[in-house]
Structure 1
Amino acid sequence: MTDAGTDRAGSGGPGGAGESGGGPPLLLGVRHHGPGSARAVRAALDAARPGVVLVEGPPEADALIPLAADEDMRPPVALLAHAVDEPGRSAFWPLAEFSPEWVAVRWALEHDVPARFIDLPAAHTLAWRAADGHPDGRPDGLGPGDRAGAASPDVRGDPLAALAAAAGHDDPERWWEDVIEHRGPGEGDPFAPFTALEEAMTALRETEENEEEGRDLVREAHMRLQMRAALREFPQGVAVVCGAWHVPALRRRAAVTADRALVKGLPRTKVEMTWVPWTHRRLSRAGGYGAGIESPGWYGHLFTAVDRPVERWLAKVAGLLREEDRTVSPAHVIEAARLAETLAVIRGRPLPGLSETTDAVRAVMCEGSDVPLALVHDRLVVGDVLGEVPAGAPAVPLQRDLTRIQRRLRLKPEPARRELELDLRKETDAGRSRLLHRLRLLGVGWGEPVASRSTGTFRESWRLRWEPELSVRVAEAGVWGTTVLSAATARAEADAVTAQDLAQVTALAERCLLAGLPDALAPVMRILADRAALDTDVGHLAQALPALVRSLRYGDVRGTDTGALAEVAAGLAERVFVGLPAACVALDADAAEEMRRHLDAVHTAVGLLGDAPAPGRGGLGARWRDVLRTLTARHTAPGVVRGRAVRLLLDDGELAPGEAARLMGLVLSPGTPPADAAAWIEGFVGGGSGGGMLLLHDDRLLALVDAWLTGVPADAFTDVLPLLRRTFSGFEPGVRRGLGELVRRGPQARGSVTTAGPGIPGFATGLDTERADAVLPVVRLLLGGGPARDGNELLGAGT
């Protein structure tokens, strides 16, 4: 069911399964996930009416076969096998609606005929994978028989290409479509394609006779043993559906003792199996599936279209393009169908295939553009169909709890990427947020947080996409608990113990608050307090403080008690205040830049904390401003740190503009080394702090920078140029343009523009009421009111 490259063609044998008295088995060699093979299998089974259907797949899944007839089972689905002691070690056997194996199983269930899997047990397969060094927990979508890493494009690696080349075709996919996929139901002998392709596969295997892989020999020996047992049990006939590459080996006469010797003593591990949803995208080769196909959506259409498949396909394409606001009329569909048929005739094909329909869609519906064509390929040719499994399918307790929560929160897993906006003031949205955060703690990356369009803490934005591999992650996370809440709590406590540094613990505390894990928060906070008391690195403390302070904001919206967090945050901030001045001495350029980032982070954190009481004296805000004043006067501190400290005080209104100009004048005096002065400027106006606007509106600061820059000695200018270029390149284009215009005017003209009137830089002598009135209607709309009838109504609306 899962061979990567060797099972891409179909083969079979004559209809011997209907003979009584242990006649030869009916061998139906298939290409996995081939709609033509699936139709041929159904026709052959209808003609032969065997007593049992044997399918390539793990025998441990025999008990799961009846679930395929459940009305809630919707392919694509996959059999998932994972080791009991290591759930991350797993393998998939995907099945789509157009998979021959799925058709065979469904035929057996509909006709009350036993169906069994006869491939090598998954217990041996997963043990082999561990012995081969496959990373545990890498659910790569490959079944155990896949050879996705075949080193060369030889016959074994791609027999379909070898057959196409022998037929004179350079495109294996197109050759397969012409020979198999375009065969309609009821065309001739139902066993003919299997007979012909068995002969072809036999010839191909003869060329590889001396290069047989040991794993294939063992698998085929096990399948022969199962086939012999079925022939003895069901004299009315046996049908075998397997990869075409294996048919010659199953037809070959081999001694029973030799087959038993091959399968004896194989390594094994205890496994569990279940059905899991799968997607068309994961069936594609682009998704990394070794036995994948290039166009699962197209193949699914070919299998389900009862007639006129090309016209029906083009109608789907037209509907998709119209949903994307492109003008596509019925005339476009008619013309595209005619063009596809014409191309098929010119190219000598029996019917238009995917290449012909794609060329027709590009020319007629997309007007020659590949941009909308890429959308067609992604949405239709590959597709995002997600299967469903019935509630009665075996699952780990954690998966059952997750399914229950998903239904309660109306948060259905979907294969397509979608944006989800949450309002945490609503109970359902808050529950969704907690679920997604808990799953992230467990390593189940169903949702990824993205920047919200709202700045309020009551809003969250997520990007959701359910991948089949997440079922393995859920099974793997089952070791932490039987419910999502208990598992996330246990995982958070374990992560806190093993965290490498203080910042990881504070980030974990924040995640516990986001996930709503009060039982985990207490031990995490104890560990956080212990780590903070022992950590003497100011950089670590400064890096940990912002995440801790951010967590305090969630108490209002999420109803979480953050009292313990506030105490730890205040103590951590005080330790930063004490150690920061000493830590800003004797730093190189890289360390100074990192300390500047810490300075910004701590400033933001203190602003969020407000004037909470600090140990010792005063509030946190006052203590932090004292630290910044200390840094502005500490000449042993790097220029970038001193400049940023001055800027932070100026932005908070704790430093008069005249005082800031005085400090800048001292730094930019001739006695200061140019490199240190350039670093001070970088700290004052660089780093994305909006310093360009400050220079644009404060002529005194701009004049100081201008005068210093023109006075830098020529031999030192080349040394400070890279730093200055980095500083000013961070300004917005409009700001750079405005600064250039002011510099071009010169100091005299610049002063007359920016310092006229009351002496406030950048402001005129009085209020321009006419210009102010023009803004009022827009402001009123922003405040949520209707159009203003006069300017006075705005005042009442905003108060």
Structure 2
Amino acid sequence: MPATAAPAVFLGVRHHSPACARLVADTIRALRPAWVLVEGPADMNDRMDELLLGHTLPVAVFSHYRDDQRVATSWTPLCDYSPEWIALREGRAAGAEVRFIDLPAWHPAVAGHTDRYANRYADAEARYAEATRRLCEHFAVDCVDALWDGLFEVTGPGTDPQELRARLDAYFELVRGDAEADAADRTREEYMAAWVRAALARTGDRPVLVITGGFHQPALRALSARHGAAAAPAGWPAVPEPPDGALGGSFLVPYSFRQLDAFAGYQSGMPSPGYYQWLWEKGPPAAGQGLLRAVTERLRARGVPLSTADLIAARSLSQGLAQLRGHPYETRGDVLDGLAGALITDDLDRPLPWTTRGALGAGTHPVVVEMVAACTGEAVGRLHPDTPLPPLVRDVAAQLAGLGLADAATPVTLDLTKNRGLARSRTLHRLRVLGVPGFTRASGPAHGADPVFTELWEPGPAAGREAALIEAGAYGARLDDAAAALLGERTRAAGPELGALAGLLFDAVLCGTGPLCADLLTTLAARVGQAGDLGRLGEVLSAALGLWRHDRVFGVAGDGLLGGVVGSAADRVFWLAEGLHGGPGADLAVLRALAAARDALRHAPALLSAGPEAAAEAAARISRDPRAPAALRGAAFGLRWALGVPDDPGPVVQALAAAAVDTLGDWLTGLFAVAREEVAHGTTADGGSLIDLVDGVVSALPEGDFLVGLPALRQAFAFFPPLERERIAERLLHRRRLRGSARSLLRTPADPLLLARARALEENVTRLLDRHGLAAAPAPRPEVTG
């Protein structure tokens, strides 16, 4: 018989379908094929023995790629009932040669359909949504998952595998018929067809079994038939390799049912993996009972009362729905609908999640959340001990052991002024940046100006650490290199977002990634000169100035590049502030930016192109600009006092008196944000207190105006810490020649705003009674006898 006469059997499957997994196993045992070709990354073919080690599933092939233009990461998950996994295992057991036949995960044809955190088995269901919509209407079901369960997963006893295969072929022919393959699909399908032709040329008289996602099956069958024997290749298709200068590779990682679940955002396959594991292991009747039992146990563990009557009602509803819908056994949807009908008595403002696709939204009913979680299951995969791991895993293990952190079970306090404490801190921060679980930073310096020289790290659950380390290995073989590469990637992704860059700068300092700091500083210096967001600019200025002034611990104090960022940012703050116009309300981010510029003028005037005198002149112009927001005018006025520019008390009184009642609090908020210490402790040119000037203006307000402005006034005085507020209260008591406790004034039994409104209401009632001659008569004086 000619070599090309052997048939190619194309089996379209749905990823993570127990029914498809059983069909794959039955087909391999019946056909005894020479070759089993599976949709999966062809660059893993040389490592098939590694993949078939005795892992505890679920596991995934993690693939990564990075060059100057593109970053891509992808997962190819496999669980006990994945058809691809059954094809690998059963094919090897049957003596067949097993091969993956799809392009590597980093290839643009694979990664192009999805975002950078992609899943290879992200089915094309979105592209044939019209066909599945019509099918759902015909079979009167809510979504494609319920449709699939009724057609394929929960079938009658003794269903013939050939009947199931014919039904699958018809389904995939229908849905592919409505979907036009794009260029990426055609590239992948041409590549997979080349593997099919190469296998047919080598198989002799034994068949070739081709197992791919159902979307690709009709196209592969047509491509193989069209090309025929004349197109048989001389060798196997070449496996593409990353171009020069790019980094890429693949490793096995542990996976979990939580990651597999569509309700948690997984892009492909079946939701509720725990339920389908029961379906795979025990069949439809036991799966339905297992789901009912799991939901019951979870709800009772959360304190939700479930009576025997509730469970009987749920069971009856589930069985009735299954009969009504024509299911031979209860499906997942039948069980969940029965439980919801019996247990949820509240009105729901959204569809039940198993009637749609996608992650759970905020506000989902708590009972529904627990039901979905019970369906997910708790399974977590584990790699075989002989599985090769990326070098980063060994590097981190060695570093943690050398620093005494490998088996830490109690909180760890680090002294950042000591070399060992700083080394341990940098290691833990690098792990934090890479997203590796195990330690959580409970306290430590929050920014460069924070006078804190210790850190407290608390050990936590290490679940997921191995998988996170394997995935972090995509960034480098050493921990410091990996952290620097990830921070560099985030720097490029931040674009013009100054706030993100400021946070990345401090992270780079904490991680001790010196060369990266220089790149970050160069990027920041280039971007602050074009910044248009005053609040974000203030964040950058505050972070950079704090590091430039105080960072003796991390070693960047007085850095020249850092000084350039400080000077450019401070100059830009004044330029933007002069052109800022707006209405009422205090933008605290803008006020913090002006306060940061004040600190730069105080502590690093040589870095700015404009000195304190020029800044004071700019502040004077802003304070007199009627179009500027009231809070900004107050902050500009306070900046002059903070810079030591003498002013007569007259302008202060005039500025306060000129402020409208509804903006007086905003004006004071700006003043206190920039010149709080000067207001609390400073004096005017004639020796008077600024507090006295403010009190004079506020005391002169009519009662009604005072009530209007009181909320904003309270916000303004919140800038003072409790001790300073107490001192101000003492001065106000002294100013009024009153005796009493200043502290008691700050600790009223009720909200001061409520008290003020109550007093105003009482006075209005008294005036109304007086107007109508209804004032209460004074109480009679008691008679004194004897």
TM tier, smaller? 0.5 to 0.7
- The reply to whether residue 292 of structure 1 matches residue 266 of structure 2 is no
Counterpart residue type for residue 187 of structure 1: G
1:543–1:772 CA distance, 2 compared to 1 (3 A):
closer
- The reply to whether residue 34 of structure 1 matches residue 26 of structure 2 is no
Offset of residue 544 of structure 1: 4.3
Which of 468, 478, 483 does residue 483 from structure 1 map onto?
478
Q: Cα deviation per residue 1:504-540 (whole Å; 9 max; x = unaligned)?
A: 987655223222335756x579969999999999989
- The reply to whether residue 116 of structure 1 matches residue 109 of structure 2 is no
Which of 740, 750, 759 does residue 734 from structure 2 map onto?
759
1:259–1:277 CA distance, 2 compared to 1 (3 A):
farther
1:764–1:207 CA distance, 2 compared to 1 (3 A):
closer
Which of 252, 275, 279 does residue 275 from structure 1 map onto?
252
Measured in 2, the distance between the counterparts of 1:256 and 1:407 equals 60
Residue of structure 2 in register with 1:685 after alignment: 669
Which of 178, 193, 199 does residue 164 from structure 2 map onto?
193
- The reply to whether residue 241 of structure 1 matches residue 211 of structure 2 is yes
Residue of structure 2 in register with 1:560 after alignment: 554
Measured in 2, the distance between the counterparts of 1:699 and 1:505 equals 43
Offset of residue 105 of structure 1: 1.6
Offset of residue 570 of structure 1: 9.3
Counterpart residue type for residue 308 of structure 1: A
| Secondary structure of the structure 1 residue equivalent to 2:107 | helix
Residue of structure 2 in register with 1:547 after alignment: 543
- Percent of paired sites with the same residue: 20
Q: Cα deviation per residue 1:618-651 (whole Å; 9 max; x = unaligned)?
A: xxxxx9999889968997577645523666899x
Offset of residue 311 of structure 1: 2.2
Offset of residue 501 of structure 1: 11
Measured in 1, the distance between the counterparts of 2:22 and 2:731 equals 87
Offset of residue 309 of structure 1: 1.7
Measured in 1, the distance between the counterparts of 2:382 and 2:664 equals 62
Q: Cα deviation per residue 1:737-758 (whole Å; 9 max; x = unaligned)?
A: xxxxxxxxxxxxxxxxx99995
1:74–1:661 CA distance, 2 compared to 1 (3 A):
farther
Counterpart residue type for residue 126 of structure 1: H
Measured in 2, the distance between the counterparts of 1:519 and 1:210 equals 46
- Whether the aligned pair in 1 keeps the contact of 2:80 and 2:277 (CA below 8 Å) is yes
Residue of structure 1 in register with 2:50 after alignment: 67
Measured in 1, the distance between the counterparts of 2:344 and 2:503 equals 48
Counterpart residue type for residue 478 of structure 2: T
- Whether the aligned pair in 2 keeps the contact of 1:60 and 1:122 (CA below 8 Å) is yes
Offset of residue 347 of structure 1: 3.2
Offset of residue 38 of structure 1: 1.5
1:190–1:423 CA distance, 2 compared to 1 (3 A):
farther
Offset of residue 118 of structure 1: 5.0
Residue of structure 1 in register with 2:757 after alignment: none
Measured in 1, the distance between the counterparts of 2:459 and 2:583 equals 35
Residue of structure 1 in register with 2:193 after alignment: 221
Offset of residue 547 of structure 1: 0.4
Measured in 1, the distance between the counterparts of 2:605 and 2:186 equals 72
Q: Cα deviation per residue 1:135-180 (whole Å; 9 max; x = unaligned)?
A: 9x7233245x9546627624xxx5xx66666778675433432332
Offset of residue 40 of structure 1: 3.1
Q: TM-score, normalised by structure 1?
A: 0.62
Counterpart residue type for residue 668 of structure 2: F
Measured in 2, the distance between the counterparts of 1:463 and 1:731 equals 44
- Whether the aligned pair in 2 keeps the contact of 1:667 and 1:680 (CA below 8 Å) is no
- The reply to whether residue 363 of structure 1 matches residue 352 of structure 2 is no
**What does 1:184-583 align with in structure 2 at a 5 Å threshold?**
187=158, 189-198=160-169, 214-215=186-187, 218-219=190-191, 221-229=193-201, 231-232=203-204, 238-244=208-214, 250=221, 253-257=225-229, 259-260=231-232, 269-270=241-242, 272-280=249-257, 283=260, 291-305=268-282, 308-328=286-306, 332-368=310-346, 371-376=365-370, 378-382=372-376, 387-390=381-384, 393=387, 397-398=391-392, 401=395, 434=426, 437-438=429-430, 458=455, 474=472, 477-478=475-476, 482-489=477-484, 509-517=505-513, 523=518, 544-551=540-547, 560-561=554-555, 563-564=557-558
Counterpart residue type for residue 512 of structure 2: G
| Secondary structure of the structure 2 residue equivalent to 1:321 | helix
- Whether the aligned pair in 2 keeps the contact of 1:366 and 1:372 (CA below 8 Å) is no
| Secondary structure of the structure 1 residue equivalent to 2:36 | strand
Q: Cα deviation per residue 1:547-588 (whole Å; 9 max; x = unaligned)?
A: 0354479969xx5346546x99899989999x7998699645
1:48–1:129 CA distance, 2 compared to 1 (3 A):
closer
| Secondary structure of the structure 1 residue equivalent to 2:85 | helix
Measured in 2, the distance between the counterparts of 1:204 and 1:273 equals 32
Measured in 2, the distance between the counterparts of 1:201 and 1:532 equals 52
- The reply to whether residue 126 of structure 1 matches residue 107 of structure 2 is yes
Instruction: Figure out how many residues of one structure are paired with residues of the other and give that number.
Output: 680
Residue of structure 2 in register with 1:589 after alignment: 581
1:563–1:453 CA distance, 2 compared to 1 (3 A):
closer
- Whether the aligned pair in 1 keeps the contact of 2:502 and 2:543 (CA below 8 Å) is yes
- Whether the aligned pair in 1 keeps the contact of 2:619 and 2:636 (CA below 8 Å) is yes
Offset of residue 375 of structure 1: 1.3
- Unpaired runs of 5+ residues, structure 2, are 243-247, 349-364, 681-690, 719-728, 750-786
Residue of structure 2 in register with 1:53 after alignment: 36
Measured in 1, the distance between the counterparts of 2:740 and 2:88 equals 86
Measured in 1, the distance between the counterparts of 2:664 and 2:615 equals 18
Residue of structure 1 in register with 2:784 after alignment: none
| Secondary structure of the structure 2 residue equivalent to 1:53 | strand
Offset of residue 379 of structure 1: 2.4
Counterpart residue type for residue 47 of structure 2: L
| Secondary structure of the structure 1 residue equivalent to 2:315 | helix
- The reply to whether residue 644 of structure 1 matches residue 644 of structure 2 is no
Residue of structure 2 in register with 1:97 after alignment: 80
- Whether the aligned pair in 1 keeps the contact of 2:298 and 2:370 (CA below 8 Å) is yes
Q: Cα deviation per residue 1:745-796 (whole Å; 9 max; x = unaligned)?
A: xxxxxxxxx99995356x9624599999999xxxxxxxxxxxxxxxxxxxxx
| Secondary structure of the structure 2 residue equivalent to 1:122 | coil
Measured in 2, the distance between the counterparts of 1:533 and 1:58 equals 44
Offset of residue 102 of structure 1: 1.1
Measured in 2, the distance between the counterparts of 1:477 and 1:391 equals 23
1:601–1:467 CA distance, 2 compared to 1 (3 A):
farther
| Secondary structure of the structure 1 residue equivalent to 2:118 | coil
Measured in 2, the distance between the counterparts of 1:402 and 1:59 equals 30
| Secondary structure of the structure 2 residue equivalent to 1:299 | helix
Tell me how large the CA RMSD over aligned residues is.
Answer: 6.7
Offset of residue 664 of structure 1: 4.3
1:355–1:492 CA distance, 2 compared to 1 (3 A):
closer
Residue of structure 1 in register with 2:655 after alignment: 667
Residue of structure 2 in register with 1:704 after alignment: 697
Residue of structure 2 in register with 1:790 after alignment: none
Offset of residue 312 of structure 1: 1.6
Counterpart residue type for residue 475 of structure 2: A
1:582–1:602 CA distance, 2 compared to 1 (3 A):
closer
| Secondary structure of the structure 1 residue equivalent to 2:127 | coil
- Whether the aligned pair in 2 keeps the contact of 1:220 and 1:250 (CA below 8 Å) is no
- Whether the aligned pair in 2 keeps the contact of 1:54 and 1:241 (CA below 8 Å) is yes
Offset of residue 546 of structure 1: 1.4
- The reply to whether residue 174 of structure 1 matches residue 146 of structure 2 is yes
Offset of residue 405 of structure 1: 6.7
Counterpart residue type for residue 337 of structure 1: R
Counterpart residue type for residue 251 of structure 2: T
